Amino acid sequence: MSKTLQRAAWAIAIIGFVVGLVGFYQRLTLGHTATNYGSYVPWGLWVAAYIYFIGLSAGAFLLSALVYVFRVKLLKPVGKLALFTALVTLAAAMFSIWMDLGHPERAWELIFRTNFGSMMGWMAWLYSAYFLLLVVELWFAMRADMAACAGEAGFRGKLCNFLTFGQKDTSDASVERDMNILRILGSIGVPLAVAFHGGVGALFGVVGARPYWNSGLTPITFLVGALASGGALLVFIAAIWGPNRGTEQHKKLVVFLGQIVLGLLLFDLLLEWAEYSINLYTSIPSHAASLRLVLFGQYWWVFWIVHLLIGSVIPVLLLAFSGKNVTAVATAGALIAVTFISVRLNIVIPALAVEELEGLKHAFSGPGLSFDYFPSTAEWLFFIWTVSLAGLLFLIGYSLLPLVTPQKEA
């Protein structure tokens, strides 16, 4: 079963990568002229994709802390998978937002001309620190396993051999030392992940001009959403790619992760309810306008069908009533993880798709001077490309690196 799904994942990722290449090519040759975002809705699918990926990354990373900081034994077999998932989704996030810039060649300014009064200024530094931490943590998490596979014949053995950088001690003492280092790194990583993802939430939250974003709850919703979506992705990955599949231990792990995801998803829905109900009750036009767009606008189905039905109700039912069935839990995880892009789109777009001054809509016309936004073909294709890129990076890493080690971690 999982072998078939693994092969299907390869096929989907390769097809997506090839098809999506057209979008990347269009971005490089046509710049922003092939996109549908612009001046009135300045952020579109690519920004939503960025917060979607970075949320998956933060969520997967924070769950890895259960292994490396809190040493939850049951989850140990998927610790490295969680870290690697965090790394590839971080790569996709960075690529999405990089290509979204009007001048991508000036991205270095984010580090060398940083305005620390801007939440976005902080992001470049926090992501760089997070990237370094992830790489180092992943190395320590894999070091002993790489040392073990360094003796294998073929490319994998050579790669393992090279990546150990000569540190081939596999004694219990050295593994214990690695675990202690990982606990320190993980302990630094948790506040870092809270800072950068809470920070992305704050990036939106501080914008007073957009009442829909301007809430103290925004950074918190971002964090809980990250944990729910990242956890959901991890539970799906653990079910399909995790070690010891078919054993009681694997089942226990998946079921346990599934229950964590259920709790997180319900908490996320509670926060959503708080935000929506209070702002709709007061009905102050500027506060309620974006919410009305989400619930009853042209793209109402994104909320009701994609997010609420497919991404919330069905997974909650699956996790609550078939929570001990690995297939059901994996399905729920996949549904939440995939549909969470709708939550991200519904954060970014509706805040921008309302007129800030009445009459602006018809005052002047031109490309990008519209409040109706739907991503263009080029935008969709490039999005597909980034998703496929992350998928391919994951699959390649999975086949080359000792991300799962069944024998040792029984």
Partner 1 sequence: MSNILEKESALVRMQADIKKALQKPEDQRRWVMVIDTRKCVGCHACTVSCVAENKLPPGVVYRPVLEHEFGTFPNVGKRFMPRPCMQCDNPPCVPVCPVNATWKRPDGIVAIDYEECIGCRYCITACPYSARTFDMGHTYSQGTPQQMQYELEPNFEYGQEWPREEGVSPEGNVRKCHFCLHRLNEGELPACVTTCIGTANYFGDANDPDSLVAELIASPNAIRLKEEMGTNPKVYYLV
The site for partner 1 (CB under 8 A) is made up of 31-33, 35, 38-40, 42-43, 100-103, 106-107, 109-110, 113-115, 117-121, 123-124, 203, 206-210, 351-352, 355-360, 362-364, 366-369
Task: In angstroms, give the least distance from the CB of 369 to partner 1.
Answer: 6
Task: In angstroms, give the least distance from the CB of 378 to partner 1.
Answer: 12
Cβ distance to partner 1 smaller for residue 157 or 368 = 368
Task: In angstroms, give the least distance from the CB of 152 to partner 1.
Answer: 45
How crowded is residue 210: how many other Cβ atoms within 10 Å of its Cβ? 17
How crowded is residue 391: how many other Cβ atoms within 10 Å of its Cβ? 19
Task: In angstroms, give the least distance from the CB of 205 to partner 1.
Answer: 12
Cβ distance to partner 1 smaller for residue 18 or 284 = 284
DSSP 360: G
Q: Find the DSSP H helices in 206-325.
A: 218-241, 248-282, 285-296, 300-301, 314-321
Task: In angstroms, give the least distance from the CB of 256 to partner 1.
Answer: 40
Cβ distance to partner 1 smaller for residue 145 or 379 = 379
Q: Which residues contact 139 (CB under 8 A, 6 or more apart)?
A: 163
Cβ distance to partner 1 smaller for residue 18 or 120 = 120
Cβ distance to partner 1 smaller for residue 173 or 363 = 363
> Do 333 and 361 contact (CB within 8 A), yes or no?
no
- Give the long-range contacts of residues 280-285, CB within 8 A, separation 24 or more: 284/211
In degrees and rounded to multiples of 5, residue 192 shows phi and psi of -65, -45
> Do 238 and 246 contact (CB within 8 A), yes or no?
no
CA distance 402 to 409: 12
Residue type, 294: V
> Do 23 and 383 contact (CB within 8 A), yes or no?
yes
Task: In angstroms, give the least distance from the CB of 54 to partner 1.
Answer: 15
Cβ distance to partner 1 smaller for residue 137 or 379 = 379
> Do 45 and 375 contact (CB within 8 A), yes or no?
yes
Question: What Rg value do the Cα atoms of the chain yield, rounded?
Answer: 22
How crowded is residue 206: how many other Cβ atoms within 10 Å of its Cβ? 14
Cβ distance to partner 1 smaller for residue 228 or 352 = 352
Cβ distance to partner 1 smaller for residue 176 or 355 = 355
Task: In angstroms, give the least distance from the CB of 239 to partner 1.
Answer: 38
Task: In angstroms, give the least distance from the CB of 358 to partner 1.
Answer: 7
Quick one: three-class SS letters along 317-336? HHHHHCCCCHHHHHHHHHHH
Cβ distance to partner 1 smaller for residue 45 or 234 = 45
In degrees and rounded to multiples of 5, residue 182 shows phi and psi of -60, -35
Cβ distance to partner 1 smaller for residue 370 or 405 = 370
Task: In angstroms, give the least distance from the CB of 40 to partner 1.
Answer: 6
Task: In angstroms, give the least distance from the CB of 119 to partner 1.
Answer: 7
- Give the long-range contacts of residues 185-188, CB within 8 A, separation 24 or more: 185/68, 185/133, 185/136, 185/137, 185/140, 186/64, 186/65, 186/68, 186/69, 186/137, 187/69, 188/133
